[in-house]
Chains A and B, each alone.
Chain A
Amino acid sequence: MALAQPTPDQIAALRARYPRAFGATPRTRAIRAVAGAAALGWLVFLFWWFDITPQRLWNGLSGLGVIVTLMIPPSPGEQWVEILKGIAESIAMAFLGTLFAAIIAVPLGFMGANNVVTNTLAHFSLRRIFDGFRGVDQLIWALAYVRAVGLGPLAGVLAIATADIAVLAKLYAEAIENAEKRQAEGIDAVGGNRLLRTRFGLLPQVLPVMVAQALYFLESNTRSAAILGVVGAGGIGLQIAERIKVRYWDEVAFIIILMIAAVALIDTLSSRIRRRLIGDREGIAKR
């Protein structure tokens, strides 16, 4: 069924009645143009500031190409036992760090959720403390802990845990705030106290989300645990850094391949656990 094409007069009349339906007003367009120009100017300034030129990018690329050719074929070198030990140490650090963070973040998450702790001041200040801790990167914590507890994996575990507690607590708190009120109300109506209301009305709703997030963090931390070794906080990082210094790129390539395999393995396992715990029930899995 063909629609009657509107005449120019009709279009003009509609445009007069619903100007914004036909595109942005001149004012919005002017604001957009100014904002666009400002963004472009900022971009150009940054390129100038950091001296980013096609020449330098090209040279960098060819430098990278040389490194890649040096990586082939990857070789375990003579100290492959050390390498395997380093990888195992990295994975163990990630596991311990994430575990501590995930456990400590649960009560913090409940305290930071405004439907559990209804006092606005307490809620607000706790959330700002989380924000503060999140502002400090894992690597900074690692540097600090290496001074505090000495070189080695303990510093790495503590760095991972400290950095993740605040992030997980914030994510947990948000999951708890998005939980359905009616289920908690059901516990209230039974006469349960605040703690029991949280235990039975909220925890069952958010526990799968919490576990899923912790598993994502485990996978991501396995990768970042490799970096922590560079500053002496244990794991494979130190071995990579040493080999890069003496340009044993084939051994570096070997370590990288092992790391990719380890991360892929953890990812597969954790997604299997996630599916097992959460199931394909509505909600979480699809989001």
Chain B
Amino acid sequence: MLELQGLTRRFGAVTAVNDVRLSIPDGQMVGVIGRSGAGKSTLLRMINRLTEPSEGRIIHDGQDITALRGAALRRWRTDCAMIFQQFNLVQRLDVLTNVLVGRLNHRPGFMGTLTSLLCLFTAEERALAIQALDRFDLADTALQRADTLSGGQQQRVAICRALMQEPKFILADEPIASLDPRNARTVMEALRQVNREDGITVLTNLHHLDTARHYCDRIVAMQAGRVMFDGPPAALTGEKVREIYGVSEDEFDEQAEEAVKPKVQRAPKAGLAIA
């Protein structure tokens, strides 16, 4: 059981997340929806403390997560794996190594760090990584560089990396916002699969109401940092959406779509290194 008690985060004068109270039982798949700037990402990032809360507490099975430091905090981060919108794989490393990275905090002590630095993973760990990749039909790409993969494949590699952490939670921050519909489906199905088969609690930010309804057991709708709705998908009717956001569901989806679209990328400029 994960409990968020009055979680608040301010950035200067802006309150991104305002007094959020949620309790999430183990094994649930929770979709967090809301417009851009509603505080979804900040909420997720506070759970693994990539962003520090300004106020409030996070309690997991009686342990105060907000008080963790050092090794205990890193242990917690291992327990709640994160999936990012832009995948955050190391592009120049091969897929296998990217997945093995998920084991880093499972390799204790000086020798663990030393062998990790030298990329000396055991045969068991390598087999584990290939099995994880195989689960999502990616084993054949194990030796390719991560940047040779499509977005959907990269996101599934990121899920494999997450699984290697043996997490209790997966925090997915707009996992499908950068993907086309077909790849989005495979990634959402992969997330649901690890939720159902492995019993991992999944918290995911989504910008599409239909996706959230289709895949999640529970939907949390946020607006201006506050939780405006918390309940089963069936209870989030079109009327409810209009009540919270003042727009119809189609308009909401459209606006959210606009907001998460990656900005137009500029061409890479040449480096400044001196020859």
**From residue 145 to 175 of chain A, which have CB atoms closer than 8 A to chain B?**
167, 170-171, 174-175
Contact between chains at B167 and A1 (CB < 8 Å): yes
A220 within 8 A of B: yes
B101 within 8 A of A: no
**From residue 245 to 266 of chain A, which have CB atoms closer than 8 A to chain B?**
none
Contact between chains at B142 and A216 (CB < 8 Å): no
Contact between chains at B127 and A209 (CB < 8 Å): no
Contact between chains at A22 and B123 (CB < 8 Å): yes
- From B230-238, B242-250, B262-270, the one touching the partner chain is B262-270
Contact between chains at B272 and A178 (CB < 8 Å): no
- Our pick among B126, B143, B163, B199 for the contact of A3 (Cβ within 8 Å) is B163
A283 within 8 A of B: yes
Q: How far is B123's CA from A172's CA once the two chains are assembled, in angstroms? A: 48
Q: Which residue of A lies closest to B275 (CB)?
A: A167
- The tally of residues in A whose CB lies under 8 Å from a CB in B reads 39
Contact between chains at A180 and B274 (CB < 8 Å): no
Q: How far is B128's CA from A15's CA once the two chains are assembled, in angstroms? A: 11
Contact between chains at A21 and B142 (CB < 8 Å): yes
Take A3-B166, A20-B143, A167-B275 as given contacts and tell me if A11 and B270 are in contact as well, using a CB distance cutoff of 8 Å: no
Q: How far is B141's CA from A212's CA once the two chains are assembled, in angstroms? A: 40
Give the chain A neighbours of B266 by CB distance below 8 A: 180, 282-283
Give the chain B neighbours of A175 by CB distance below 8 A: 269-270
Q: How far is B124's CA from A6's CA once the two chains are assembled, in angstroms? A: 7
Contact between chains at B128 and A6 (CB < 8 Å): yes
Contact between chains at B131 and A1 (CB < 8 Å): no
Q: How far is B199's CA from A217's CA once the two chains are assembled, in angstroms? A: 59
Give the chain A neighbours of B142 by CB distance below 8 A: 18, 21
A224 within 8 A of B: no
- Our pick among A3, A206, A282 for the contact of B128 (Cβ within 8 Å) is A3
Give the chain A neighbours of B139 by CB distance below 8 A: 17-18
A198 within 8 A of B: no
Q: How far is B96's CA from A167's CA once the two chains are assembled, in angstroms? A: 40
**A173: min CB distance to chain B, Å:** 10
Contact between chains at B272 and A212 (CB < 8 Å): yes
Give the chain B neighbours of A174 by CB distance below 8 A: 270
B164 within 8 A of A: yes
> How many A-B residue contacts, CB cutoff 8 Å?
89
Contact between chains at A1 and B198 (CB < 8 Å): yes
Take A11-B127, A179-B267 as given contacts and tell me if A284 and B166 are in contact as well, using a CB distance cutoff of 8 Å: no
Give the chain A neighbours of B75 by CB distance below 8 A: none
Q: How far is B275's CA from A216's CA once the two chains are assembled, in angstroms? A: 11
B12 within 8 A of A: no
Q: Which residue of B lies closest to A177 (CB)?
A: B270
A205 within 8 A of B: yes
Contact between chains at B270 and A21 (CB < 8 Å): no
Contact between chains at A1 and B267 (CB < 8 Å): no
Q: Which residue of A lies closest to B102 (CB)?
A: A3
Contact between chains at A209 and B272 (CB < 8 Å): yes
B221 within 8 A of A: no
Contact between chains at B272 and A1 (CB < 8 Å): no
Point out which of A22, A177, A216 has the most chain B C-beta atoms below 10 A from its C-beta.
Answer: A22
Take A6-B128, A180-B267 as given contacts and tell me if A284 and B123 are in contact as well, using a CB distance cutoff of 8 Å: no
Contact between chains at B127 and A10 (CB < 8 Å): yes
Give the chain A neighbours of B269 by CB distance below 8 A: 175, 178-179, 205-206, 209, 283-284, 287
Contact between chains at B274 and A14 (CB < 8 Å): no
Take A20-B143, A179-B267 as given contacts and tell me if A220 and B274 are in contact as well, using a CB distance cutoff of 8 Å: yes
Give the chain A neighbours of B96 by CB distance below 8 A: 21
**B86: min CB distance to chain A, Å:** 14
Q: How far is B130's CA from A20's CA once the two chains are assembled, in angstroms? A: 12
Contact between chains at A1 and B199 (CB < 8 Å): yes
- Our pick among B129, B163, B199, B270 for the contact of A178 (Cβ within 8 Å) is B270
- Our pick among B131, B268, B275 for the contact of A171 (Cβ within 8 Å) is B275
A121 within 8 A of B: no
B271 within 8 A of A: yes
**B200: min CB distance to chain A, Å:** 5
Give the chain A neighbours of B274 by CB distance below 8 A: 171, 213, 216-217, 220
A66 within 8 A of B: no
Give the chain B neighbours of A179 by CB distance below 8 A: 267, 269
B168 within 8 A of A: yes
**B252: min CB distance to chain A, Å:** 30
| Residue contacts A-B, CB under 8 angstroms, 22 given | A1-B166, A1-B167, A1-B198, A1-B200, A2-B166, A3-B128, A3-B166, A5-B124, A10-B127, A11-B124, A11-B127, A14-B126, A171-B270, A171-B274, A178-B268, A180-B267, A213-B274, A220-B274, A283-B269, A284-B269, A284-B272, A287-B272
- With A5-B128, A6-B128 known, 10 other A-B pairs at CB within 8 A are A3-B128, A14-B126, A15-B127, A21-B96, A171-B274, A174-B270, A180-B267, A205-B267, A213-B274, A284-B269
